[in-house]
Amino acid sequence: MGNRIRMGLVGGGPGSFIGPVHRIAAELDGEIALVAGAFSRDAQRSTEAVHGYGIDPARAYPSIEAMLQAEAAREDGIQFVTIATPNFHHLPAARAAIRAGIAVMSDKPMTATLTEARELAGLLATNPVPYGLTYTYSGYPLVREMRARIAAGALGAVRKVVVEYNQGWLAGAGEGKQAEWRLDPARSGEGGCIADIGVHAFHLAEFVTGLRVERINADLGTVVPGRALDDDCQMFLRFEGGARGLLMASQVMTGEGNDLALRIYGEKGGLRWSQENPNRLEWLRADGGMEVVRAGDAGLSPVAMRGTRLPGGHPEGLLEALANLYRDFAGTLRGEAGSLVPGVDEGLRGMALVATAVVASRDGRGWVDFEV
Amino acid sequence: MGNRIRMGLVGGGPGSFIGPVHRIAAELDGEIALVAGAFSRDAQRSTEAVHGYGIDPARAYPSIEAMLQAEAAREDGIQFVTIATPNFHHLPAARAAIRAGIAVMSDKPMTATLTEARELAGLLATNPVPYGLTYTYSGYPLVREMRARIAAGALGAVRKVVVEYNQGWLAGAGEGKQAEWRLDPARSGEGGCIADIGVHAFHLAEFVTGLRVERINADLGTVVPGRALDDDCQMFLRFEGGARGLLMASQVMTGEGNDLALRIYGEKGGLRWSQENPNRLEWLRADGGMEVVRAGDAGLSPVAMRGTRLPGGHPEGLLEALANLYRDFAGTLRGEAGSLVPGVDEGLRGMALVATAVVASRDGRGWVDFEV
Amino acid sequence: MGNRIRMGLVGGGPGSFIGPVHRIAAELDGEIALVAGAFSRDAQRSTEAVHGYGIDPARAYPSIEAMLQAEAAREDGIQFVTIATPNFHHLPAARAAIRAGIAVMSDKPMTATLTEARELAGLLATNPVPYGLTYTYSGYPLVREMRARIAAGALGAVRKVVVEYNQGWLAGAGEGKQAEWRLDPARSGEGGCIADIGVHAFHLAEFVTGLRVERINADLGTVVPGRALDDDCQMFLRFEGGARGLLMASQVMTGEGNDLALRIYGEKGGLRWSQENPNRLEWLRADGGMEVVRAGDAGLSPVAMRGTRLPGGHPEGLLEALANLYRDFAGTLRGEAGSLVPGVDEGLRGMALVATAVVASRDGRGWVDFEV
Amino acid sequence: MGNRIRMGLVGGGPGSFIGPVHRIAAELDGEIALVAGAFSRDAQRSTEAVHGYGIDPARAYPSIEAMLQAEAAREDGIQFVTIATPNFHHLPAARAAIRAGIAVMSDKPMTATLTEARELAGLLATNPVPYGLTYTYSGYPLVREMRARIAAGALGAVRKVVVEYNQGWLAGAGEGKQAEWRLDPARSGEGGCIADIGVHAFHLAEFVTGLRVERINADLGTVVPGRALDDDCQMFLRFEGGARGLLMASQVMTGEGNDLALRIYGEKGGLRWSQENPNRLEWLRADGGMEVVRAGDAGLSPVAMRGTRLPGGHPEGLLEALANLYRDFAGTLRGEAGSLVPGVDEGLRGMALVATAVVASRDGRGWVDFEV
């Protein structure tokens, strides 16, 4: 393993989809190695999981607490944990790690509720350890390119932001393990679609523009009868400085896959990007001409180049985008600056979005201030 | 000319863009001939215009009143007028024609204000003549195909509608003849972007789904400083039966051309269409597969086939879409049924949208009922 | 009709697809009017056809000879003919018109055989009248833009040309009127696919680059058993100056519609265009960036602007492309210069291509010189 | 490392592009670990390279021979080597490994010349060890889906194959490490573009159709003056059973990135796939309709599903495609059947293609038999 940073995984037991994704992405650039896990609260299942990850069965634990304790006693013990569990477990897992002085990389949303998020933020304030949130899509090189260009003034003042995240996989009854916990408020939290993918869209809008949302007007709905949580969201946004925005997120747009797309317009031009074809960025000039930028080509900003492993025309994908977050996080653990991994602030803003939008929409309140 | 239906044009003087468009579209299928015009209120300019249209200079008039009077005296006089003027002239021109018992094809929006629209509707109620509105985009064969498929139940119950109309040509100062009158409330009316293109989007949403909007939550804004009218609109829609909708229309999305696009999702699938590539319709299946339908191919609905002149792979465009409206209108004038040309009802709904959205957005009212 | 140029149509009888296409395109810009026709050699069918065209039944004739004679006696007689018949009738029809001193617009290919084409060229040399060939695709504004850019040196020396014309409609048995005569050597001539669409591709390659092909290596084949003519062609090209080229044309690429596409590469960049989405031109820069040019946008060359009726984002299609040829042809008839309509030279080159490729491919000769 | 299969890398020294690509892909699925390397023939540079790979400096060697010897003495020694060097070193490296009884995964083309390839094949015949070639693109799940569908008869008899591989990076002078050795016959071998990317295209055509090429007609050229090897290739193919094919490969199509694309047509439909957007497969139906298949969606063939880590809409890329080859190879090393990794036969065919095409084209021979 050389001097790879050692990672422990919370969640990701047998049959998990997201566990292997974290392993691949974390290890992709050779800076991190998964060496231990609390894969399941069922000790036997946790041990079974090691086969898929290729790790020592002795380092499979039935709980994060057990893992933290045992690993602390090893010379080659874990140096950070990744939390890849349903939302309701994010806080207790993070709490345990933070109290043990262990850095945390967590799936979004930060927690199940805003109250929990505030507790977690307080805990980190008094027990500072590196804390990152896997808003995966912000790891795409061309998303980072958009951010760099806008920061450099390429668009002039930003005027209009359209961000959408369209899925269709919950247009039916929503069977299967993935659907089940997301549709259950006890495990998912206050928001359904808004918490699962709306926060991704919201984060991207703020990340790319560098602007904070100040007011929202939310319209959340439940399209499939019998659900306790929203499955379709639309929202007007108003950013600091007055830029206008629109956010769509839905899990009932039948036939859509993972259509996360971002369009930003300013005085001098526009930028369009779509996650399903992520190695292509469109730059709209004010004269109507369009330039297509390809990931990996010369001339991109340093932050985009750093997140690209292959030359133009050789596609990279979502695993590589997540790997970019892990690479940044590894840098932080080594004491380097420059990480773009979202943290506490972004986490709190996401949870505040869920809480604010759910209440404002339910009460038909129209425009409301957005504060954390 | 054989037995072509004879048309008189109001507007379309020298330098006009839309006048020649109406001539081409009206004459495209050989059923209508432009034979007279009140092209300009300046008599000399009106006469100059005949060169571009290839008509007899004696049939160029300085006003619609003069045209109606002189043409009524001819055996081969005009049988209908097309009104292609700035909005504020729609009502007086239509009023003159209707009082003369002459059919009217009018550019949208119906009038400059809802009050005027109601006057026009009243006039038509007591003086019935064929009246059509050139909501051009509803003439595209694949738009009609969407309507036919939804009416036939292909989507099951409609759940979500996203319609957008993105332009960038007013992102700058807005110079030129086209911009000038549109930015002037005295000539454009109560709405800016909402009246110019928002009503197109709104009409398409209702036309294609066959559902009426019952409530809206509108966010209109003026992005370019100093303008008296909105230049960017976003709106939540709620349709009869509960379907959720989103409408975007903007003229300040820098670099966008004429990006009108429609997405409709129901229980059983989704449909996507975009005006900039209008001969392609995407049918999203619930299993994630997508089928692409090509205009002109076998198997389309009769209403789409009727509006297609060329086989699949041979592109038709906007002129042909408008020609489809004219062909329907010619059928109406010949006493045939089956026209899909929008009329008074659609016109009133568009004007009510403008009036309702402008006020509700200005006052920050959130959700309001939408009634004509 | 004002002073429109008067056109007579040869072919285009009841049920014809191409007849109405010619009428629409010829009349689109208001400079030409179809007034007479030899629509069918069956007098009754010829007369029936007038209904679809809206012309005087007295001006329907049973033969081009009858039409030429009768129309010559009228003050408002036809000024040119369009020949829209199966290939074997191109020569006799053109011969009759030329001898009568009447200008000719003819469907491609020029004739059924190279021998016939030479006869026609000889006839025109001694009896000069305006003669045009409807290589329709060269009328697209962005095709003309490519030509203008290459002529202006935007690519530097042209190095590589890839032109393809992929159809699938003859992948099956080939039923229907359109298929029947094309598969019959007696009516179609020496070539099948090569004569029907290969010549389009060949013409485009020479038209756009401004370079002449000097050598070819052809591989023609008959994929569907039992056919007397080729239905799939592939060909290497060598242009004057050494540029390398590849030409594909097929009517058996199952599922393809009318996929004519052109790619040209030079020292400084590349250009890509596809007929199925014709309002978009891709300019590939040497650094890997791509710029997308939209028909109708400011900044295009005058020749492209002249062929565009609508601003960027408002699609035009094949009828408008053909109308551009008719507009040029009308200009020629009025004595104006600047027409880009292909004529005798392009016609001869197309027929020589058919003759050369058919023989060279059959005999497996590899590279052969290409001469007219 | 658990029980991961241990890999040694030949090549991939400091500054290498392809070395890290092999490490990422080999380790991606957690079945293989890079543990040693002969990264450079300069011992110091070889040792420097370990930092990038995170391996023990003691396991960096100055030659494959040194690596094989030292690793053979370790209990945890390497189990296979990956050869990622310029072409001329493929044979000596493979020879050393094979003689040591160590399995080989090699970059394509197999060797620098056909003679060398035959030597290598002979060696493997007498010293059988697992031998794989990284024809990376055949690892894409949708390429494997095409193969599976065609094998299952979805197209009926294959009639026409169009494979193209368009790059532009050698349109200029060709500076840099990557270009330098490829343009040098001493290091690259008999072919330039044909050996570098033409063999990829050729392999894909045979891999996907399951048909062998029997005759070719090749046109190789050198576009940029002063080069000793071809930089642009076009070729007609004839497959067993008579299917017709076309192969394009170029490194001088200015502005193109890595545009490898495949189109296959049969009696019942067509398939289109493009590497630059690799998670999308187009199925053309005989009726003109098109279905778009998305990688990761339900309903794909088992072989495609096995090569997909993420659900539909979550892009995977080239690293994952190469990882699929490594996963298959790991299976072979564990004694499992079912690998789709190309081997000796595919390697010989590629080298025979280079040798045959270079000579036949140079001599202008037209059609020639293609034999290994």
Residue-wise pLDDT tens digits, B323-369: 999 999 999 999 999 999 999 999 999 999 999 999 999 999 999 99
Chain A CA closest to residue C287: A298
Q: Which residues of A touch D177 (CB under 8 A)?
A: none
State the Cα angle at A231 between A228 and A236, rounded to 5°: 120
State the DSSP H helix or E strand holding residue A33, giving kind and residue range, or none if neither: strand A32-38
User: Looking at the predicted structure, is the pLDDT value of residue A54 above 80?
Assistant: yes
Exposed/middle/buried for B303, CB within 10 Å: 0-12, 13-18, 19+?
middle
Hey, what are A336's tokens?
């380097």
Distance, CA of B286 to CA of D220 (rounded, Å): 48
Q: Quick count: other Cβ atoms within 10 Å of Cβ D338? A: 10
Per-residue pLDDT at B1: 52
Average pLDDT, integer, range B117-144: 98
- Rounded to a whole number, what is the distance in Å from the CA of B245 to chain D's nearest CA? 24
CB-based contact B282:B126 (threshold 8 Å): no
Per-residue pLDDT at B15: 87
Inter-chain touch B316–C312, beta carbons under 8 Å: no
Of A162, A266, A365, the CB nearest to B254: A266
Per-residue pLDDT at C319: 98
Distance, CA of A49 to CA of A61 (rounded, Å): 10
- Give the pLDDT band of residue D177 (cuts 50, 70, 90): confident
User: Looking at the predicted structure, is the pLDDT value of residue C29 above 80?
Assistant: yes
Q: Which residues have CB under 8 Å from D56's CB, separation 6+?
A: A2, D35, D36, D50
User: Is the minimum CB–CB distance between D268 and chain C shorter than 8 Å?
Assistant: yes
Average pLDDT, integer, range D275-291: 95
User: Looking at the predicted structure, is the pLDDT value of residue B204 above 70?
Assistant: yes
* Average pLDDT of chain C to the nearest whole number: 96
- Rounded to a whole number, what is the distance in Å from the CA of D371 to chain A's nearest CA? 32
User: Looking at the predicted structure, is the pLDDT value of residue D185 above 80?
Assistant: yes
- Rounded to a whole number, what is the distance in Å from the CA of A95 to chain D's nearest CA? 30
* Average pLDDT of chain D to the nearest whole number: 96
Which amino acid appears at position B335 of this protein?
A: G
Among C73, C75, C68, CA closest to C10? C68
Distance, CA of D29 to CA of D24 (rounded, Å): 9
State the DSSP H helix or E strand holding residue A80, giving kind and residue range, or none if neither: strand A80-84
User: Is the minimum CB–CB distance between C18 and chain B shorter than 8 Å?
Assistant: no
Q: Which residues of B touch A256 (CB under 8 A)?
A: 265, 270, 284
Q: Which residues of B touch A248 (CB under 8 A)?
A: 162, 246
Share of chain C residues as helix, strand and coil, in percent rounded to the nearest 5: 40, 25, 40
- What is the DSSP track for D103-129? EEEEPSSSSSSHHHHHHHHHHHHHS--
pLDDT in tens, A104-129: 999 999 999 999 999 999 999 999 99
Inter-chain touch C54–B2, beta carbons under 8 Å: yes
Average pLDDT, integer, range D93-116: 97
Return the DSSP state at A14. Answer: T
User: Is the minimum CB–CB distance between D21 and chain A shorter than 8 Å?
Assistant: yes
Inter-chain touch A287–C297, beta carbons under 8 Å: yes
User: Looking at the predicted structure, is the pLDDT value of residue A197 above 70?
Assistant: yes
Q: Which residues of D touch A17 (CB under 8 A)?
A: 311
Per-residue pLDDT at C2: 62
Mutation site for D-interface testing, chosen from C254, C273, C368 by largest number of D Cβ within 10 Å: C254
Distance, CA of D291 to CA of D294 (rounded, Å): 10
- Give the pLDDT band of residue A90 (cuts 50, 70, 90): very high
Residues 201-230 of A with CB under 8 A from B: 217, 219, 221, 223
Burial B252-267 (b: 16+ CB within 10 A, else e): bbbbbbbbbbbbbbbb
Average pLDDT, integer, range A281-296: 94
Of A24, A52, A320, the CB nearest to D317: A320
Which sequence spans correspond to the domains of chain A?
5-136, 140-309+343-362
CB-based contact A268:A247 (threshold 8 Å): no
User: Could you identify the residue written with the tokens 């840098």?
Assistant: A331
CATH of C139-307+344-362, picked from 3.30.360.10, 3.40.50.410, 3.20.20.20, 3.40.50.261, is 3.30.360.10
Residues facing D20 on adjacent strands = none
User: Is the minimum CB–CB distance between A270 and chain B shorter than 8 Å?
Assistant: yes
- Rounded to a whole number, what is the distance in Å from the CA of B183 to chain A's nearest CA? 18
Q: Quick count: other Cβ atoms within 10 Å of Cβ A177? A: 11
Domains B5-136 and B139-313+341-362 share a fold: no
User: Looking at the predicted structure, is the pLDDT value of residue B35 above 70?
Assistant: yes
Q: Which residues of C touch D248 (CB under 8 A)?
A: 162, 246
* Average pLDDT of chain A to the nearest whole number: 96
User: Looking at the predicted structure, is the pLDDT value of residue D248 above 70?
Assistant: yes
Inter-chain touch B287–D293, beta carbons under 8 Å: no
Per-residue pLDDT at B2: 61
Average pLDDT, integer, range B124-142: 98
Instruction: Say what the ipTM of the complex is.
Output: 0.96
User: Looking at the predicted structure, is the pLDDT value of residue D4 above 60?
Assistant: yes
Average pLDDT, integer, range C139-150: 98
User: Looking at the predicted structure, is the pLDDT value of residue A147 above 80?
Assistant: yes
Average pLDDT, integer, range D12-37: 95
User: Looking at the predicted structure, is the pLDDT value of residue B258 above 80?
Assistant: yes
Q: Which of A2-6, A30-34, B333-337, D252-256 has the lowest mean pLDDT?
A: A2-6
Inter-chain touch A55–D315, beta carbons under 8 Å: no
Inter-chain touch B292–D290, beta carbons under 8 Å: yes
pLDDT in tens, C178-206: 899 999 999 999 999 999 999 999 999 99
Fold of D140-308+344-362: Dihydrodipicolinate Reductase; domain 2 (3.30.360)
Inter-chain Cβ pairs, chain A and chain D, closer than 8 A: 121
CB-based contact D212:D241 (threshold 8 Å): no
- What is the DSSP track for D142-195? HHHHHHHHHHTTTTSSEEEEEEEEE--TTSS---SHHHHHHT-HHHH-S-SHII
Per-residue pLDDT at C1: 52
CB-based contact C247:C235 (threshold 8 Å): yes
CATH of B139-313+341-362, picked from 3.30.360.10, 3.40.190.10, 3.30.420.40, 3.40.1450.10, is 3.30.360.10
Of B54, B278, B311, the CB nearest to C30: B54
- Give the pLDDT band of residue D259 (cuts 50, 70, 90): very high
- Give the pLDDT band of residue C52 (cuts 50, 70, 90): confident
Per-residue pLDDT at C175: 79
Q: Quick count: other Cβ atoms within 10 Å of Cβ C120? A: 24
Per-residue pLDDT at A367: 97
Distance, CA of C278 to CA of C141 (rounded, Å): 9
CB-based contact D131:D317 (threshold 8 Å): no
Q: What is the pTM of this model?
A: 0.97
- Give the pLDDT band of residue A174 (cuts 50, 70, 90): confident
Q: How much of chain D, in percent, has pLDDT values that exceed 90?
A: 94
The CATH superfamily label for domain A140-309+343-362 reads Dihydrodipicolinate Reductase; domain 2 (3.30.360.10)
Of B52, B258, B317, the CB nearest to C316: B317
Of D287, D289, D294, the CB nearest to B288: D294
CATH class given for the domain over C5-136: alpha beta
